[in-house]
A and B are shown apart, each in its own frame.
Chain A
């Protein structure tokens, strides 16, 4: 991996250090190093502490925020902070060794779609619109879908969801991850926020407890000065000080490990295969069929392409990954169509049915008959498989550290909610930071961060519980349970208030399921 030189362009403004702290800690006057000893070159960690007066050298003024991990969720946080008047003055450091951050990749329309896609819910779309990043997403390939059909292999029932059930236009939008990422980056470039990108990996993190007074003499005052800060050291030797560390570095979060957060979770004994496929006709519906090994989902990406997410046992996954393309296409068509079991019977009853007493207008989709998904014509990308697991950090915040996105929680992809939870975290955290700045709080204060945790934790846990419940229920093939699931399909299809509740919850508009 290339170790790029740490970019210090933004530091030229700070070369004349203003050190108001000197007055408090100058013993014996200002004799101590009138100017910082060396203009900081990376790798000289000690020169900071050895300064007699303990103040910071010009290049190492502390940051307000350090976002570890420059993925979609980390950049969403940075973008949201950069576009709000209360927070755009915050100095942000972004630590990620991905070269895409430093040199933006241009994505052309003619490129085949990347198999890594995400379904963004309307709630996430509105966050993006508020931040002004959605306009950039619209310049690339993206696909809104307004219908969704869910059924299983037993052929006993199916459910169709329509956006018009909740009087909306779309149920969601499927966008490639790289498109989301680059549109967030473009929006950040638009603003004049002070940010620095550190293209390396985080190596260690030191928090200075305010009451610790260390043993050796010349660092005592220095370590007290740093009491309100966290020191991050990178693998290429550079280091920085910051008031708040945001861990947005994914499921194997280094920040989470270094900070010692405990997690709960388990591995699903399932792998997911993702790939892009092509149809002969356009596809504007999301299809999901629960098979004995796991669900297969077909999501429209636009331009006759669709994305497949197929969950199955690891052995089957490796078989399917290596088989040749035509066989794979055939397997996919079978899985979506006639394989494993019959089609469910369409319901041809007219408007009234036995559940109409539950009130509310009947949803439009009740009358829709079962449709067979469009056939896959060819494979348009490589197949990739990855293992699935559930993970939830027991705490999201500690003093001066907060976790967002996959670093805090990882879920099963069966409902496309994972990254939406992450975006919810990012935009909520940015709003809470704004509220903190409005009343002059130190943004690393744990009481402020707890507000974020109190808002996101219940929502995340509820969603994870629902998804985990689905995953468990559908992983068992047992007669009475199959009938129960079929009843559930029927209930969701015909009981309109329930259907509306499900759609609202999955769209991110409701915090908890069932209770509006």
Chain B
């Protein structure tokens, strides 16, 4: 018997190490895993294909940079049918700030569908069911929206998701916009805050792994005094910064919006420019640097 097969039968068969997987099995799984496209090819490229499922990704930036836009774009893009290369899943959008504008979501869904019809027309010919699925209203019907007004509701909702996800098996992304809002305002006890946030992030990570979905947490920025000057950094402190698997920072570079991979176990640090257009998040091409009016 070879070394590898002996090792495999040792731990896989009788559950001696319950829940363990060999790295090779994990690699095969990862390679089969689909990613959620952001709409911008360059951004997808530095992300290794898009937002990863089974992982928690944090996205932070200054007000107005486009975090909510990215959140809505992902909630729409997760629904791209499997026939067109997407996940064909549903989305949960947890809104803590009231920044979700449903008309904008409709606009982004329209933009996504029109691009799909343009780019993948050849594939769609074979699938007659698609015209009904590819309607902005059906995309909107697949976004489950929770409006949260206090940190109690935030904790309660994330607890309740356990049950919700058992019933709705198609959900492939959870977007929390933003994870920070209620924890910056209502908490005076920082130790309690750290503990509560830690508990929440563990639960979300568990959902990501168990149900093979992507978790995207939008975060605000704050200033931090480092080495004699103020720097921008994501809110919620140093302990929270360990809680997410990946971290993307959206920022202004001159007049362009850029995304920077700040932390990732498998991707190297890189930046990519992106645009926010009437259709949603798209590539920043050299001839179309101007932001178009909607």
B and A form one assembly: no
